[in-house]
Amino acid sequence: MAQPTGMPVVKQEPVEETDIEKVILDLCQKNPDGIDNKIIEQGLSHCDVQQRVAAINKLLTTGCIDLLQIGQRLLYRLKDTAGDNQLKGTDTQDKLVYQIIKEADNKGIWIRDIRSKSNLPLTQLNKVLKNLENKELIKAVKSVAAPKKKVYMLFNLEPDSSVTGGAWYSDQDFESELVDLLNQQCYKFLEQKAKNSTWILSHSNAATATAEEVLGYITQLRVVTVQLKVEDIVTILNTLIFDGKITQSTRVGASGSRVSSHCHEGGAISPGTCVYMRDWLEL
């Protein structure tokens, strides 16, 4: 279509590749744990996909950032230049062991696996590990999976919850009192919602709650000092389900599973007698 006569033409200035790279590096600096493509896209919304991909590839090939896979997520993180600088002039074996540990990220790696990958004798490996620890390049962390053993990871990393046990462990000890407290408070929250609603209202989710809502309630109570996540609350809710105190349901059109304290087989409200359940299943 021809441009109407007299209509001003807005010329889009090309974005310099170095400017895009600088934005990505700044984002990595602000997010030391790593950034994903969504964060990059938000920070560079004025650039097209090809420009972003070209800048990321250049930063990867020049060694400015690393690409890591944490669970199901792909993250870009600033390259650990401090560690690389401290390794300059050190033994080749030190560099080899450091790289093996670096690849394990925050889940760490057992000394047995380091030995297998490095092919170093145990006495020599212990010497290398001690040297890297003294330089504060790596650290040994006790794992809840095997309290008498340690996993090694880079010094500046926060251990994954699979290593520390997350909110349920303190100094390798299981916090049973914390779990009991959260069990009581989660159930109390659901029970209060059920008591404050009628049967008709419960069908519209008034007597149910998502894990996010339960977390919000627990956070407001300030009964715990640890930072809880939705995954932690789901764990607690699962224990209540196993104990037969609550049930879990997925409602059509809902954003996630909801839990209820009164709807269960044999109860006044049960899936077997629920008219709404029959309608939903078209029985």
Q: Which domains does the chain have, with CATH numbers?
A: 17-79 (1.10.10.10), 84-165 (1.10.10.10), 173-243 (no CATH)
| pTM reported for the whole predicted model | 0.46
Provide the pLDDT for residue 234.
87
pLDDT tens series, the chain, 283 aa: 455 555 444 444 455 667 888 899 999 888 887 899 999 999 888 888 888 898 898 888 887 888 877 666 788 988 766 666 677 767 888 888 998 998 888 889 999 999 999 999 999 999 999 999 998 899 999 887 777 788 999 988 888 877 777 666 666 667 778 888 888 888 888 888 776 654 333 344 445 788 888 888 888 888 787 788 888 888 888 888 888 888 876 554 334 456 555 444 555 445 455 443 444 344 4
Provide the pLDDT for residue 276.
39
Residue 245 gets which letter from DSSP?
S
Q: How far apart are CA 114 and CA 66, in angstroms?
A: 21
Provide the pLDDT for residue 129.
95
| Residue 209: both structure tokens together | 């709650």
Q: How far apart are CA 46 and CA 41, in angstroms?
A: 9
**E runs forming strands in 46-145:** 65-70, 73-78, 109-110, 138-143
Q: For 204-208, which contacts have Cβ atoms below 8 Å and span 24 or more sequence positions?
A: 205/251, 205/254, 205/258, 207/260, 207/261, 207/262, 207/263, 208/249, 208/258, 208/259, 208/260, 208/263
Provide the pLDDT for residue 213.
87
| Residue 152: both structure tokens together | 């090694």
Provide the pLDDT for residue 132.
93
28 within 8 A of 37, measured Cβ to Cβ: no
